[in-house]
Amino acid sequence: MTFKEQFREYIDIVNAKLDELLPEKDNPQGNVYKAMRYSLLAGGKRIRPVLTIAATKILGGCDDAALLFGCALEMIHTYSLIHDDLPAMDNDDLRRGRPTCHIEFDEATAILAGDALLNKAFEITSAAASGLPAENALAAVKAIAALSDASGAEGMIGGQIVDLESEGKEVDEETVRYMYKLKTGCLLSAPARMAAAISKKEDSDEAKRLIEYTDAIGLAFQIKDDILDIEGDTAKLGKAIGRDEKEDKRSLARVKGIDYCKNLLSELTDKAISLAESFGEKGDFLKELAIFLLERDY
């Protein structure tokens, strides 16, 4: 199976599970389910759940658990996008090629849909943990802890507030890198950390190398987004470009220049490829994924 075929298969598995985990509801609060599904099932690269599955396979953990935790992570990522698009944040009206949640519904419904997706993620993972034998339940609880940490004030939310408070200010490269590590990097390193917990190999050398790999592609992913915000195509990206300049955001491209970013992106990708290769044939998918993320135009 080629990388593209394997990637597509993983995405199809994730999409089917997301649809199953979040069915439509014919009840008085049914509209919030419509908004949740509208954003969650709108497509996307599904990098985070795919990474969770791939990392767990390398460590020899349970595929079913990896899929469940990967889907929970995707729900948290989607909730963050819904809130990020709101007028109080980035005030965007296009996401994944169609109107953002608050445009399609309204601001209040979008806020509640995001809140509900966050809660749904932990409802799913905690229910799974409670139904397992004690030894496996402990591993699941550790994976939930990794997911919580990556999502909170020391993770994605922390990065978001640094981003907001940096707008229109002169900040240095260290501040931008710190922001990227939390805002984007934490949810992209969470797959390796959750996989390590699920597989009960948190202290293994393999797990440490997987975390290094996800740390590298986490920073690379955000830098690539910065470049696409300058040089990308709205039709391919499914969202407006030029937002960083318009909103006077402190991106690495604006602080250090686009050529610096392209060189750093190449270095980070080379590092990720080297780490993937350290797993032998088991790392082939991760190697190709790093290249895909480098070359993507959306």
pLDDT digits (tens, 9 = 90+) for 156-204: 999 999 999 999 999 999 999 999 999 999 999 999 999 999 999 999 9
Residue 117 has pLDDT above 90, yes or no: yes
Amino acid at 146: A
The values of phi and psi at residue 95, to 5°, are -145, 130
Question: Residue 223: what pLDDT?
Answer: 96
The model's pTM? 0.95
Of 45, 55, 97, which is closest to residue 240 (Cα–Cα)?
Answer: 97
- Neighbour-count burial for 178-217, b at 16+ CB within 10 Å, e otherwise: bbbbbbbbbbbbbbbbbbbbbbbbbeeebbebbbbbbbbb
Domains of the chain from N-terminus onward: 3-295 (1.10.600.10)
Q: Is the dihedral of CA 71, 77, 81, 82 positive or negative?
A: positive
Q: Residue 34, class by beta-carbon neighbours within 10 Å (0-12 exposed, 13-18 middle, 19+ buried)? A: middle
Q: What is the Cα–Cα distance from 71 to 52, expressed in whole angstroms?
A: 9
- Neighbour-count burial for 3-28, b at 16+ CB within 10 Å, e otherwise: eeebbeebbebbbebbeebbeeeeee
Which residues, including other chains, have CB under 8 Å from residue 184's CB and lie 6 or more apart? 156, 159, 218, 219, 221, 222, 225
pLDDT digits (tens, 9 = 90+) for 135-161: 899 999 999 999 999 999 999 999 999
| Choice among 83-92, 176-185, 239-248 with the minimum mean pLDDT | 239-248
